[in-house]
Amino acid sequence: MNTSTLIAPPALVRRAEKHDTKAVQALDSAHFIHPFTDHGDLATRGSRVITHAENIYVWDSEGHKILDAMSGLWCVNAGYGRKELADAAYQQMMTLPFYNTFFQTTNVPAVQLATKLAALAPEVGGRKFEHVFFSSSGSESNDTNVRMVRRYWDLLGQPQRKVIISRNNAYHGSTMAGASLGGMSGMHAQGDLPIPGIEHIEQPYHFENALPGESEADFGLRAARWLDEKILSIGANKVAAFIAEPVQGAGGVIIPPSTYWPEIQRIVDKHGILLISDEVICAFGRLGHWFAYEKFGMRPDLVTFAKGVTSGYIPLGGVMVGDRVARVLIDKGGEFNHGYTYSGHPVACAVALANIELMEREKLVERVKDDTGPYLAECFEELRHHPLVGTAQACGFVAGLLLVKNKATNEQFDPDLGVGMMCRAHCFRHGLIMRAVGERMIIAPPLVMTRTQIDEMMVLIRTCLDATVDELRAAGQL
Ligand code: PXG
């Protein structure tokens, strides 16, 4: 195939320029294996080609403007088109594009970022985060967590403590350890996962897992106690850690009852096991705090981050290492035989610093906490009156709603109908990106979204819900 029409020198590619969509799709299908994609399907339908973006909008190769209510993939917290971040990358590339941080070497942006993150991570219950381990993604960071947690207990003379407990429907990444820690049955079914030493308990999803008439508060306590039961059934002296997302993201924005986290904390403290808060989605302002553990009163020992730390402009992830673990690794551990070529990558760290500076200057975290976040929550409350919506909730700048067949009885749709995907297709048609997880429709907008833009998004959401109702009625399903 002649690729000359596609690969124009960057300076010649104008933003509004129309691309040869069919040609891009053909090459895409011929050469690019995508994540989480059915390639037979992709070949028939052709991929959606996103060409440029600004603020909260992306454009496709056909010139359609789309409101991106998913921030790319839960990450473009500062919004698109931020020159400060591009400048930071350019400057750093011209100064020092790469040097490794192995073998007693460091670089200035990595040191500055580690220092900044240590200052941003709040101390809770006397637990401080003074150290950071860098990676390039959330998945790698959770692999690091497994290595670190096991090393910690080995160094303390308890090598039998190996089991890490996680939850069904959790998402912790797609590497061998990440996918094993996650609780996605579709992922476990491919590649003989989970790896040994990982166990799962049920998620705190009131709608699906509560007993008839059980209050949110009672359910939260009962769900937390599943952890206690699991620890006892394994044997407390064999359990190393519990890992969880403060709010489950990829699982469908599952917001736990307020009683859940305090009870989990009591249980991990009682058994002396480590707590890992996976904040790949929840940190960097997503829930109105720099780190989400603060919001829920959790006292984690390790905190996974990625995505929002650079607003997705460049890959970077890491683990905030609390003093409890850091002191053992540093004081007793000697060399920790673990690291990635790009741990502390100077360009990624420089972009993260610029991103944090921008977020501070524009008070994005405070805005989500005190203004736009509560407003989004109000708007989602109102959505509950829509005939197709069973539940709707927001927490900071993540929100989810459940599409139900019958509001009065909470009767659910047959999953084979694919009502979530039907609704998602209407969203694309109307210029809105919303994610479908089964019958849950979820959003995580850029934190720069204003109240007026929230209104604009809510009009689109209602239009798409109405269009879904019409399609279901026409098919005799409502
Ligand atoms: N932990 C959490 C809580 C995540 O949400 C990861 C770890 C892995 O991060 P990396 O950078 O390795 O992808 C994630 C990633 C979705 C979706 O469909 C969510 C994620 C990634 C891809 C798709 O919602 N979250």
DSSP H helical ranges for 96-136: 108-120
Helix then strand count (H, E) for the chain reads 18, 15
Hey, which of 77, 139, 280 would you mutate to test ligand 1's pocket, going by the most ligand atoms within 8 Å of its Cβ? 280
**pLDDT for residue 258:** 97
39 Cα to the center of ligand 1, angstroms: 21
Nearest CA residue ID for atom 19, ligand 1: 250
Mean pLDDT over 390-403 rounds to 98
Q: Which atom of ligand 1 is nearest to the CA of 245?
A: 3
**pLDDT for residue 470:** 98
Nearest CA residue ID for atom 24, ligand 1: 250
Nearest CA residue ID for atom 1, ligand 1: 172
**pLDDT for residue 403:** 98
171 Cα to the center of ligand 1, angstroms: 6
**pLDDT for residue 11:** 41
**pLDDT for residue 19:** 81
92 pLDDT above the threshold of 50: yes
Task: Encode pLDDT of 94-151 as tens digits.
Answer: 999 999 999 999 999 999 999 999 999 999 988 899 999 999 999 999 999 999 999 9
392 pLDDT above the threshold of 90: yes
**pLDDT for residue 241:** 98
Residues in contact with ligand 1 (CB, 6 Å cut-off): 73, 137-139, 142, 171-173, 178, 245, 249-250, 278, 280-281, 306, 317, 435
Q: What pTM was computed for the model? A: 0.96
Q: Enter the DSSP assignment of 417.
A: G
170 Cα to the center of ligand 1, angstroms: 10
Residue ranges of domains in the chain, CATH in brackets: 48-81+364-474 (3.90.1150.10), 87-361 (3.40.640.10)
Pairing relationship of beta strands 50-54 and 57-60 according to DSSP bridges? antiparallel
250 Cα to the center of ligand 1, angstroms: 7
3-class DSSP state of 358: helix
Judged on CB neighbours under 10 Å (0-12, 13-18, 19+), 468 is buried
**pLDDT for residue 167:** 98
- Contacts of residue 370, defined as CB under 8 A and 6 or more positions apart, other chains included, come to 288
Task: Encode pLDDT of 9-68 as tens digits.
Answer: 344 344 556 689 999 999 999 999 999 999 999 999 999 999 999 999 999 999 999 999
Q: Are 318 and 306 in contact (CB under 8 A)?
A: yes
Q: Which atom of ligand 1 is nearest to the CA of 35?
A: 22
466 Cα to the center of ligand 1, angstroms: 30
Task: Encode pLDDT of 250-296 as tens digits.
Answer: 999 999 999 999 999 999 999 999 999 999 999 999 999 999 999 99
Q: Enter the DSSP assignment of 290.
A: S
141 Cα to the center of ligand 1, angstroms: 11
- As a whole-number percent, the residues of the chain with pLDDT over 70 amount to 96
β-partners of residue 318 are 134, 305
85 Cα to the center of ligand 1, angstroms: 22
Mean pLDDT, the chain, rounded, equals 95
